[in-house]
Amino acid sequence: MSQDINLRVSPRTVQQETVNTLRQAIFSGHFEPGSRLVESQLCTQLGISRPSLREALRSLAAERLIDFVPNRGPSIPNLTWGEVTAIYEVREMLEVNAVGQCSQRISKEQLQKLKKSLVAFEEAASRNDSLARITTTEDFYSIILANCGNPILEEIHRGLVARISLFRSRSMSLEGRAISSLAEMKAIYEAIASGNEAAAKSASRKHILKAMAAAKKAMEATG
Amino acid sequence: MSQDINLRVSPRTVQQETVNTLRQAIFSGHFEPGSRLVESQLCTQLGISRPSLREALRSLAAERLIDFVPNRGPSIPNLTWGEVTAIYEVREMLEVNAVGQCSQRISKEQLQKLKKSLVAFEEAASRNDSLARITTTEDFYSIILANCGNPILEEIHRGLVARISLFRSRSMSLEGRAISSLAEMKAIYEAIASGNEAAAKSASRKHILKAMAAAKKAMEATG
DNA sequence: TCAAGAAGATTGTCATACAATCTTTCAATA
DNA sequence: TATTGAAAGATTGTATGACAATCTTCTTGA
Q: How confident is the model at residue A3 (pLDDT cuts 50, 70, 90)?
A: very low
Q: Looking at residue B57, which CATH number applies to its domain?
A: 1.10.10.10
Lowest-confidence pick of A15-19, A92-96, B176-180: B176-180
Whole-number Cα distances in Å, B61 to B114, B152, B155: 32, 20, 16
Determine if the pTM surpasses 0.95: no
Using the Cβ of A11 and the Cβ atoms of chain B, whether some distance falls under 8 Å is answered with: yes
**Cα(B78)–Cα(B32) distance, rounded to whole angstroms?**
9
The b-or-e profile of A30-50 (16+ CB within 10 A means b, else e) is ebeeeebbeeeebbeebebee
Give CA angle at B61 (B55, B65), nearest 5°: 125
Kindly report, residue by residue over B153-179, the tens digit of the pLDDT: 999 999 999 999 998 889 998 989 999
Note whether A127 and A198 are same-domain residues.
yes
Please check whether residue B4 lies inside any domain of the structure: no
- Of A30, A60, A75, which residue sits at a domain end? A75
Chain-centroid distance of CA B179 in Å reads 20
**Cα(B151)–Cα(A137) distance, rounded to whole angstroms?**
27
Element (H, E) at B68: strand B67-69
Q: Which residues touch strand D (CB under 7 A)?
A: A 13-15, 47-52, 71-72; B 11, 36-40, 50-51, 54, 68-74
Check pLDDT > 50 for residue B86: yes
Please check whether residue B169 lies inside any domain of the structure: yes
Note whether B70 and B89 are same-domain residues.
no
Q: How confident is the model at residue B110 (pLDDT cuts 50, 70, 90)?
A: very high
Note whether A48 and A105 are same-domain residues.
no
**Cα(A22)–Cα(A64) distance, rounded to whole angstroms?**
13
**Cα(B167)–Cα(B218) distance, rounded to whole angstroms?**
7
**Cα(B165)–Cα(B147) distance, rounded to whole angstroms?**
22
Å: B72 CA to C23 C1' = 10
Chain-centroid distance of CA A203 in Å reads 19
Note whether B118 and B44 are same-domain residues.
no
Check pLDDT > 50 for residue B20: yes
% of residues, chain A, pLDDT over 90 = 85
- Of B75, B93, B115, which residue sits at a domain end? B75
Note whether A104 and A199 are same-domain residues.
yes
Kindly report, residue by residue over B193-216, the tens digit of the pLDDT: 999 999 999 999 999 999 999 999
Q: Range of A63's domain?
A: 14-75
Mean pLDDT score of chain A: 93
Please check whether residue A9 lies inside any domain of the structure: no
pLDDT at A223: 60
Question: Between A54, A63, A89, which is nearest B62 by CB?
Answer: A63
Name every residue whose Cβ is closer than 8 Å to that of residue A171 and which is 6 or more positions away in sequence.
Answer: A177, A211, A214, A215, A217, A218
- Of B53, B75, B97, which residue sits at a domain end? B75
Number of independent structural domains in chain A: 2
Check pLDDT > 90 for residue B5: no
Lowest-confidence pick of A10-19, A50-59, B45-54: A10-19
pLDDT at A4: 35
Sign of CA dihedral A223, B1, B4, B10: negative
